[in-house]
Structure 1
Amino acid sequence: MKIALLAHPRHPIAAPFMGGMEAHAWHLAHGLQARGHDVTVIAAGDSRVGTALHPLMTRHYDADLPWHRFHGTDRLNAYLDDSHDRALQWIASQGFDVVHNNGLHRFPPRLSRRDRMPMVTSLHVPPFDALLRAMRDSVAPWHQVTACSQTHLAEYWPDGAPASCHVVPNGIDMGAWPFVPQGQGHAIWAGRITPNKGTHLAIQAARRADVPLVIFGSIEDQAYFDARIRPELSTDIRFGGHLSGGELAAEYGRASVMLFTPQWNEPFGLTALEAMACGTPVAAIRMGAVAEVIGPSGSYAAPDGHDLDAALLRATQVPRADVRERAARLFGMDAMLDNYEALYRLAIANRNAPASPADFAAIELPPAQVTIARAG
């Protein structure tokens, strides 16, 4: 298949990855290419991918219009609208069989609905108003939708999702996250360092449990890091920087427990899964889909983290082989790719499926009134 893989452009799709969305897009592109598909990634122009790349914009927008300063402003919204409009016009000219939309913009799903563009939209974040309205407006047999957990899907359709909506859990290459049978007695925290990831709660819990902690990740919110994280660093609470995948896998394996501390309705929890693949159990704040993914491979604490220290100590008792087995059985890369390929074929096959004209009411169109070319 000739596949357009549309990514979110806040950060480049490049290792070391800023977060789970970037890692997902990179590994998805490479996994599809390895299966013989013709893949073009449409993403920030400073992305580094081993496939064809079409720039959605010259460089990732956070470099020029940082999300923490410009989120919700007319300036950023106009920039993203223009970038997506131009990218969709380019997509329309290329004869793609299917578009896999992994972005957060409202134009792609609505264009799929209006112009019968075969598309799979994979949701990666909790619903926000513009995206939620676009998804509900865009239900169609040729527009298949995935969420990464049952909890996540129910946030978008609490009264029951349409037949074109599915759960496809995130998958990882288990070979990239090798099993280590014994940790070295310390805890690890990894992810984007920003308030909604709750890094400060991991520090507090490790201190109360008297367990050393090493923190890894990109500093997304410098003010948060300077105010809440940097002053707490010591010989027992260390910041190890932003690591490549291989380096991070080694650190997961050395740890005896991972602390996972979301302060939002976590749709999945990719870093927790990576640690699990290495055999490292997880002490997690129970929010969103956390328990759905981790299951018995860890222990849980309240959203405010007041009992996370006790969860940390309980999690260290979980057998590491059981943790690895769950990750391999439920969240392998091949299962994710199999599911996506099946949905691509379904979206293409349903291109001409019946749809009620009333369903097209109130569809917002991008300025250029793009008409998507149909392959085949």
Structure 2
Amino acid sequence: MRIALLAHIRHPVAPPFTGGMEAHSWHLAEGLTARGHDVVLFASGDSDPRFAIDAVVPVHHERVFPGLEHRGDPGLRAHVDAGYAAACDRIAAGGFDVLHNNSLSRLPLERRRTGQVPTVTSLHVPPYDALRGFVHASLGLGHRITVTSQAQLQTWWPAGAPPEVSVLHNGVDPAAWPFRDRGDGSAVWSGRLAAIKGAHHAIAAARLAGIPLTLYGPIEEPDYWADRIAPQLGGPIRYGGHLDGRALAAAIGSASVFLFTPCWDEPFGLVAIEAMACGLPIAGLANGAAPEVVGEAGCLVPEGDDADLARAIGVALAIPRTVPQARVLRLFSRDLWLDRCEALYAQVRAGPAPATWVG
């Protein structure tokens, strides 16, 4: 198939990934290309040049409008809308069999556009006012929507989802996150260093549990970093930087437990399954999709008491490392994820029959 992949443009779709949305688009482009599809990645022009890039904007917009995401800035909104509108026009004229929409733009959701190119939209965020109404109004014969978890499905459609919506769990390549049969006794955390990701809870719990902790990831919120993270560093608490995939997998795999601390309605938690593939059990907060993703591979507690999270670390450390690995291989492998993407593409191209499987 000839596939257009429309990405979010806040950050480049290139390793080391700033967040899960960038990782999702990169791995989707890489996986579909490896399966023989003709993929064009519509993303910021500074994305990974190994792909065929059609630039939505010349460079990712965080460079041009730093710190203005979700703040209603009119300049940023006009910049993003102009880029996406032109990209959607090029997709409509490009002879594509299907569009996989990973953007947070309302423009690819318009029925006049989904009527031109069969579209699969993957939602990676909880519902918010600027997008919710457009998503709900967008369903039609040429459009399918996926969410990443049953928990996310419930937040978007609390009264029940229409048949055009299905759960498409994220997947990872086990070869990229190799299993290690033992760890060094330490804890590890990775993700965007932003308040909603909760690294401060991981630090507090690790101190209470008496276990060394290393944090990895990009510093997304400098004030949060300066106020709540940097003053806590030193001794057994360290920051390991923002690593590329291979180095990050090696660092995570050498630890003994992964701390997963979402302080929001987490839609999925890609970092958790990356660690689980390496064999790490999870100690974390039971927000959003975390229980659905972690299952028997960890111990989750309600947010609010870091002493509870510290106790969860001890429980998680007793889980054999083969348990989290097996859960990833059974539910969250890249091949399973790509199989389901291809099935969705076939369904949306076929026309009126909606997707019937969930999971």
Q: Is the TM-score greater than 0.5?
A: yes
In 2: Cα distance, 1:265 partner to 1:183 partner: 30
Q: AA paired with 2:341?
A: Y
Q: AA paired with 1:237?
A: I
TM-score by length of 1: 0.91
In 1: Cα distance, 2:19 partner to 2:48 partner: 15
1:329-368 alignment runs, 5 A limit = 329-350=330-351, 353=352
1:34-45 alignment runs, 5 A limit = 34-45=34-45
Q: Mark the CA change 1:288 to 1:12 in structure 2 (over 3 Å): closer, same or farther.
A: same
Q: AA paired with 1:130?
A: A
Q: AA paired with 1:311?
A: A
Matching of residue 82 in structure 1 with residue 86 in structure 2: no
Unpaired stretches in structure 1, ≥5 consecutive residues: 355-376
Matching of residue 273 in structure 1 with residue 261 in structure 2: no
The alpha-carbon deviation at position 74 of structure 1 amounts to: 1.6
The alpha-carbon deviation at position 312 of structure 1 amounts to: 1.1
Q: AA paired with 1:42?
A: F
Matching of residue 254 in structure 1 with residue 257 in structure 2: no
The alpha-carbon deviation at position 281 of structure 1 amounts to: 0.5
Which residue of structure 2 lines up, in the alignment, with residue 123 of structure 1? 123
In 2: Cα distance, 1:140 partner to 1:113 partner: 11
Query: Is the deviation greater in 296-305 or in 192-201?
Result: 296-305
Q: AA paired with 1:236?
A: P
In 1: Cα distance, 2:131 partner to 2:67 partner: 17
Corresponding residue SS for 1:258? strand
In 2: Cα distance, 1:236 partner to 1:158 partner: 43
In 1: Cα distance, 2:155 partner to 2:75 partner: 29
In 2: Cα distance, 1:32 partner to 1:54 partner: 17
Kindly indicate whether the alpha-carbon contact (under 8 Å) linking 1:113 and 1:138 is maintained by their aligned counterparts in 2.
no
Matching of residue 100 in structure 1 with residue 97 in structure 2: no
In 1: Cα distance, 2:210 partner to 2:146 partner: 41
Q: Mark the CA change 1:112 to 1:303 in structure 2 (over 3 Å): closer, same or farther.
A: farther
Kindly indicate whether the alpha-carbon contact (under 8 Å) linking 2:115 and 2:142 is maintained by their aligned counterparts in 1.
no
Q: Mark the CA change 1:310 to 1:3 in structure 2 (over 3 Å): closer, same or farther.
A: same
In 1: Cα distance, 2:303 partner to 2:269 partner: 15
Q: AA paired with 1:316?
A: L
Q: Mark the CA change 1:5 to 1:82 in structure 2 (over 3 Å): closer, same or farther.
A: same
The alpha-carbon deviation at position 298 of structure 1 amounts to: 0.5
The alpha-carbon deviation at position 113 of structure 1 amounts to: 6.2
In 2: Cα distance, 1:69 partner to 1:330 partner: 33
TM-score by length of 2: 0.95
Which residue of structure 2 lines up, in the alignment, with residue 319 of structure 1? 320
1:229-240 alignment runs, 5 A limit = 229-240=229-240
In 2: Cα distance, 1:111 partner to 1:52 partner: 27
The alpha-carbon deviation at position 83 of structure 1 amounts to: 1.1
Structure possessing the higher relative contact order (Cα contacts under 8 Å, 6 or more residues apart): 1
Corresponding residue SS for 2:288? coil
Corresponding residue SS for 1:29? helix
In 2: Cα distance, 1:334 partner to 1:305 partner: 38
CA deviation vs aligned residue, 1:314-339 (integer Å, no higher than 9, x gap): 11111101111011110011111111
Paired positions, count: 352
Q: AA paired with 1:314?
A: V
Q: AA paired with 1:286?
A: A
Q: Mark the CA change 1:158 to 1:49 in structure 2 (over 3 Å): closer, same or farther.
A: farther
In 2: Cα distance, 1:188 partner to 1:232 partner: 15
Q: Percent identity?
A: 48
CA deviation vs aligned residue, 1:261-308 (integer Å, no higher than 9, x gap): 111100100001000000000101010000000001010121224311
CA deviation vs aligned residue, 1:96-139 (integer Å, no higher than 9, x gap): 11100001111101246663530000111111112111110011
Matching of residue 156 in structure 1 with residue 156 in structure 2: yes
In 1: Cα distance, 2:35 partner to 2:50 partner: 14
In 2: Cα distance, 1:68 partner to 1:316 partner: 40
Q: Mark the CA change 1:104 to 1:187 in structure 2 (over 3 Å): closer, same or farther.
A: same
In 2: Cα distance, 1:109 partner to 1:245 partner: 32
Which residue of structure 1 lines up, in the alignment, with residue 16 of structure 2? 16
Unpaired stretches in structure 2, ≥5 consecutive residues: 354-359
